[in-house]
Amino acid sequence: MSGFAGFIRLAPTPETAETDRMAIARMADAIAFRGPDGRQQSSRDGASFAFSLLITGPAPQASAQPVSLDGETFLLGEARIDGRADLIHKLQQHGAALRPAATDEELVLRFVQHFGLQALPELDGDLSFVLWNPGRRTLAAFRDLTGARPFFYSCAKGTLSFSNTLQAVLTDKGVSRSDYDFQFIGDFLLGGPHHDPERTVYSRVRRLPAGSLLEFSAAGLSVRRIAHLPVEEPIAARDGEIVGEFRRLFTEAVRDRLPDAETAIFLSGGLDSTSIAAEVSALRQRASAAPSPRLQALCVDFQPLFDDQEGRYASEYAKAFGIPLEIVHSGNSLPFADWEESFRQLPEPLSDPYGSLYLSYRRRISQKGRVVLSGDGGDELLRLEAAPYLRFLKRTRGAWRAGVTLLGWCVSNRGLPPLGFGFRSGFLRRLGRALPELNYPVWLCPDFAREYCLRERWQQMWAPPAAQHPSNPKAYHSMNSGLFAEVQEICEPTWTLVPLETRNPFLDRRLCRFLLRVPLIPWAMNKQLLRTAEAGILPEAIRLRPKTPVERDPVVLHARAGSWSRETDESPAPLLRPLVDWPVLTELLRSASDTSLYVCLRPVALSRWLKAVEMPRRIQ
């Protein structure tokens, strides 16, 4: 992932020119780690830019930024386009003179020339960039709906600093690292730090939400959501046609993300990542008779803490396909291990006690390639519940049709599909019981909770999302709500500090739109569509392997075994003393023996992060 940063001053003067050059130099240093293949830095007429290049492919990339076609509009940022051939054909039909070897940056500029900013949501790919027009003194920034590429900014007194790296924005002299956003901190302690997707832990730094357009000019700064997945009619097609179209789109999604260089993949023993690996092997075999770049894999399991079978299944698959595989056994890793150094490097706090361990996997896999493929998104799109679709059929085609559809599944599969009518959760509510992690944290100080409306925000966080899709509301919400922007952001170099780009074929916008239209019964029951499409490709032991969620939580197991003490005698960071009732929290930590531990560990994680990032300042 290349790095980019910029500093815009709308009313520059000769006296501010040197200040701006120093500012962009600091930002350039902050993004240097992202791009080992080239660095540029420029400053002119109040607009200063820095760029560090990471060459990944497969499409041509601009070797230097900012890029302009006409000297009027300049692009700086990340632009990886899917469906390049279709986009080039569309632009050529509108009069654009384009070569097949046009860079993705050029395609974005041509697209905006012909269709304008409002059409940006129609671009498929991973996008986070700015368009600067020096003549008009206007800047526009866009982040695509999937949100795989972040965008941070700070705005004050006619200046805007921005970057895809939070640490670069923090070099702005107008941004204080000790000026925290207490609303973000409250949401973090509730378990939803991105409940307001614009906030960061710093009050003067904001993130551009996924699917949003930022505009900055003398008129001020505005941010608005412009990208949404459409709600489209369900597909009425034969089974073979649905499977065939899925295979076509899945192949395109993998092909568009596959560089012509050594590539890495997070490989489990499950269906999603192995399907991607098989597609990579097939694509490279078809592309050339010469030796292809290697696909190398990393698998993580929690042996010897419990009998985790992921490593065994992944090893059997990798051996069958000739994929070099490294297995990392993490069962002996304790929560918050080596937190002092790792917490100091985090741009924002992480609540997961294993957060730094998960980041270490990405640093490890960065030694195998510059691009890592991931199976994220497969569960959210292909393993769903039947109830919404049955209601849709009853409403649109009658109770008879809904009943016949359900009966057909039951006969073919000798059992009920996962329905999701809420019977179990409703029964637990009537008994006065709830999942332990869904209880409001009683250790939050009342004055803090009242000032920042934390109880109301907690209720909003855990309320069922509004049904915005008639037949597939769960998958639609996952793809349209910014959920994956949160998940993918901590996989990004801002957090890992290594030049590694994560790509997710299942989150391809073309594939997502198709999967939102296929009938949930049978295709999204237990990943039936993917299992059918992979027949004859994957080993049967993996293709037919049932989804087995990990019920043995490593934090809980270590706490129960006494190998890790859940108790903490440490005092909280000073900032947390008026926010968290630490004696109440400590008592709950002593007695917790289930996943409620995660709720109680949020303040511990935040306190340790605050101490780690504040320590250098105290020393100074």
**pLDDT grade for 432, boundaries at 50, 70 and 90:** very low
Under a CB-based contact definition with an 8 Å cutoff, are residues 357 and 487 in contact? Answer: no
Bridge-based pairing state of the strands 263-266 and 371-373: parallel
The rounded distance, in Å, linking the Cα atoms of 14 and 12 is 7
pLDDT score of 100: 85
Q: How confident is the model at residue 66 (pLDDT cuts 50, 70, 90)?
A: very high
pLDDT for position 428: 37
Mean pLDDT over the full length of the chain: 91
- pLDDT confidence band for 619 (50 / 70 / 90): very low
Integer CA distances (angstroms), 510 to 468, 493, 547, in order: 19, 26, 25
- Distance CA(372)–CA(500), nearest Å, equals 7
Average pLDDT of the segment spanning 42-51: 95
Which residues are CB-neighbours of 97 under 8 A, at least 6 positions away? none
The pLDDT of residue 4 = 98
Chain segment 115-153, per-residue pLDDT in tens: 999 999 999 999 999 999 999 999 999 999 999 999 999
* Partners of 5 in the β-ladder: 50, 163
3-state secondary structure of 441: coil
Domain range list for the chain: 3-170+205-225, 239-297+308-329+345-382+472-543, 386-419
**Position 426: which residue type?**
G
CATH top class, domain 239-297+308-329+345-382+472-543? alpha beta
Residues 126/503, Cβ–Cβ less than 8 Å:
yes
Q: What is the pTM of this model?
A: 0.94
pLDDT of residue 254: 98
> Under DSSP, is residue 309 helix (H, G, I), strand (E, B) or coil?
coil
Residue 531, number of CB atoms within 10 A of its CB: 18
What architecture does CATH give domain 3-170+205-225? 4-Layer Sandwich (3.60)
Q: Which residues of 497-507 are buried (b: 16+ CB within 10 A; e: fewer)?
A: bbbbbbbbbbb
For range 211-226, the mean pLDDT: 97
Beta strands in 218-262 (DSSP E): 220-225
pLDDT(279) > 60: yes
Contacts within 8 Å (CB) and 24+ apart, 510-513? 510/82, 510/83, 510/124, 510/249, 510/252, 510/253, 511/246, 511/249, 511/250, 511/252, 511/253, 512/229, 512/377, 512/381, 512/479, 513/229, 513/230, 513/232
Annotate 526-542 with DSSP letters as a single string: TTHHHHHHTTTTS-HHH
Q: Could you give the CA distance from residue 170 to residue 173 in angstroms, rounded to a whole number?
A: 8
Dihedral angle of Cα 490, 327, 36, 32, to the nearest 10 degrees: 30
Longest dimension (CA), the chain: 79
Instruction: Render pLDDT for 546-581 as a digit per residue (tens, 0 to 9).
Output: 876 655 789 999 988 888 887 777 889 999 999 999
> In this structure, are residues 545 and 313 in contact, taking their beta carbons and an 8 Å threshold?
yes
Q: How far apart, in whole angstroms, are the C-alpha atoms of residue 184 and residue 326?
A: 38
Residue 63 in contact with residue 40, Cβ under 8 Å? no
Instruction: Find where tokens 């899925």 sit.
Output: 246
Mean pLDDT on 388-413: 92
60-74, 396-410, 429-443: least confidently modelled range? 429-443
Please state, in angstroms and rounded to a whole number, the distance separating the CA atoms of residues 512 and 515.
5
- 186-197 mean pLDDT: 94
- Is the pLDDT score of 474 beyond 50? yes
Long-range contacts for 444-450 (Cβ within 8 Å, ≥24 apart)? 444/186, 444/189, 444/579, 444/580, 444/581, 445/578, 445/579, 445/580, 445/581, 447/578, 448/182, 448/186, 448/578, 448/579, 449/186
Position of tokens 């489990």? Answer: 268
Give the confidence band of 425 by pLDDT, cuts at 50, 70, 90.
very low
Copy the structure tokens of residue 310: 């992921």
Q: Report the C-alpha gap between 445 and 597 in whole angstroms.
A: 19
Both structure tokens of 442? 């009683």
pLDDT recorded at residue 237: 82
Return all residues near 527 (Cβ < 8 A) that are at least 6 apart: 271, 378, 382, 383, 547
Q: Which residue has the higher pLDDT, 289 or 107?
A: 107
What was the pLDDT predicted at 577?
A: 96
Percent of the chain with pLDDT over 90: 73
Distance CA 291, CA 286 (A): 11
Convert the pLDDT of each residue in 227-241 to its tens digit.
999 999 889 888 899
- Cβ-based neighbours of 13, under 8 Å, separated by 6 or more: none
Residues 6+ apart with CB under 8 A from 481: 465
